[in-house]
Amino acid sequence: MLRSSHFVSRFVPLLCAALAAAQEPAFEAADRASFAALAGLDDDERWQRVTLRASRASGTPRRLHYSLPALTAALLDHPGGTGAHAAPLRVPPGTIFVAEDLDVHGAAQRTELLAIDAQGQPRFAAFDARGARIAIDEASCARCHLGAERFVPWSAFPDEAAEQRIELAPSARDRHALARFGDPARRSSGAIAPYGALLLGVLGERASRGALSATERASYAALRARYPEVLLAPDASSSGAAPSSPVEPRVAALRAALDLHLASPSDEDALIWAGRRFAYLGRFDEAIALFTQGLVLHPRSAKLRRHRGHRYLSTKRFDLAVADLERARELAFEAPDEVEPDGAPNALGIPLTTLRSNALYHAALAHYLRGDVLRARDLWSADLAMASNDDRRASASCWLWAAARRCGDAVAAERALEWVSPATQVIENHAYLDVLRLRRGELTAEEVLALHPGSTGLASAGYGVAETWLAAGEQGKARALLQRIVAVAPPAAFGTLAAEVALQRLERARAR
């Protein structure tokens, strides 16, 4: 306990006095005053305390104290990323961390204080057992307390196969995992921020025992939604209630993919699937970071560039998407083609696309969204020419028609429709086929929209209808439908991205 170590009576006044005497401008009055709030540390459950069995940073057991609300907020705000591409974990100014090195009797022999100043920078102070200020290597303390400015929650234990995820069995956490958070020698390139990973590990362990406090339960609920692949313990109360619901299937799939990737970090396919599973949860930046990491190991990988390019599209970085997808297309045609497995298999479980077709299709889309409709027309024409099934023909043709009409190529637009017949059937691209039937005069716009009432269907079918109306000069109806798509359809759906671009184009035309 901090009171037994005389922290409150000795260390806080000394630290405040030292900071005031030095007149350190980074510490304002409010920052110094926040140290005094530690007087209630032992009684306030907003502070979480963890004792590590051993810390090689000091060679002794270590007791850590940190603010549960502040660290929870930092974890919720973390933008993601992996490995060297992970974003830093930023905690709010005024946040304080305390680390005590203990003797065999549990008494503090050395206390380190870390405070985040008003500019968001870490500041350190250290005291001996008598409360005297001692010199401290701030760079070493920063590595020990904060890691290397990067935070990767799901790879907090990169050194041993048995500790590659935070969601270890409680006994393993107690004996091994938590004991190593204070040991920079055991961390791979400082790739985690120890306090952030520590909080996730502690919450997961306590939740698995039904031992969460009221404040911890609130933190756990918020963080479990943000880090579901890490906090896999049951959503339990302090009474040890059974889980209220199973792990969401996409989260379980991400966990399995991460297991395979962490077991074989250099395996290209395992890395790609981990990135794809992140993307299916809408965590595009983490997917991009993984694909970027993979390209360091596999610089001539068409697959990695194809998938990273796709997620650059999802995040509206169209220039980067063009560069990746054009390079993916070049590389894909240097080797035999291969079927690309689906992340969400269709009803028949039949993969319908290949690496080459996906590179062509996505490269065309990147050019289209960027405004180069001529290049988009040419790539979709090539995709249509090499399509081996009607699903691929439907998707390529639907976009080819829009690009061809936009660049005034009536012949290419007609070619996009001529292969369709009343007997044409598809397995999954029903919205695209129905839009083609609309353009052939076989369905009305109202019928197409009624056939695809959901938000995802609206993105594909709705955008196709809107482009058809634009080609017919019905701008008012098209604009209203495009606005509806942007408002309710999935934001990363291709039809939604295209609807946003189309609205911008209409606004520019109106302004002229």
What is the per-residue pLDDT across 68-94, written as a single tens digit (0 to 9) for each? 888 888 788 776 654 444 566 677 776
Residue 352 resides in a domain: no
Q: What percent of the chain has pLDDT over 70?
A: 70
pLDDT (average), residues 198-222? 78
Residue 397 resides in a domain: no
When mean pLDDT is compared across 84-88, 335-339, 428-432, 474-478, the lowest value belongs to 84-88
Residue 81 resides in a domain: yes
Cα gap 298→295, rounded to integer Å:
5
Q: Which two tokens stand for residue 3?
A: 């009171």
Q: Which domain holds residue 69?
A: 7-226
Cα gap 63→19, rounded to integer Å:
24
Residue with tokens 């979709």: 380
Residue 25 resides in a domain: yes
Cα dist from 432 to 38, 358, 426, 435, 486, whole Å: 62, 16, 10, 5, 18
Residue 307 resides in a domain: no
Encode 336-368: b = buried (16+ Cβ within 10 Å), e = exposed. eeeebeeeeeeeeeeebbbbbbbbbbbbbbbbb
Q: Provide the mean pLDDT of the chain.
A: 76
Residue 215 resides in a domain: yes
pLDDT (average), residues 471-486? 97
Q: Sheet harboring 47-55: ordered strands across?
A: 47-55, 60-67, 96-102, 108-116, 122-128, 133-134
Element (H, E) at 478: helix 475-488
Q: What is the pLDDT of residue 95?
A: 73
Cα dist from 95 to 31, 120, 145, 150, whole Å: 9, 9, 13, 18
Beta carbons of 147 and 194 less than 8 angstroms apart: yes
Residue 205 has pLDDT above 60, yes or no: yes
pLDDT (average), residues 118-127? 75
The pLDDT confidence band at residue 491, using thresholds 50, 70 and 90, is very high
Query: Max CA-CA distance within the chain?
Result: 89
Residue 349 resides in a domain: no
**pLDDT: is 56 or 508 the higher one?**
508
Residue 476 resides in a domain: no
Beta carbons of 92 and 116 less than 8 angstroms apart: yes
HSE-up (13 A, CA, CB side) for residue 269: 3
What is the per-residue pLDDT across 440-464, written as a single tens digit (0 to 9) for each? 999 999 999 999 999 999 999 999 9
Q: How many domains does the chain have?
A: 1
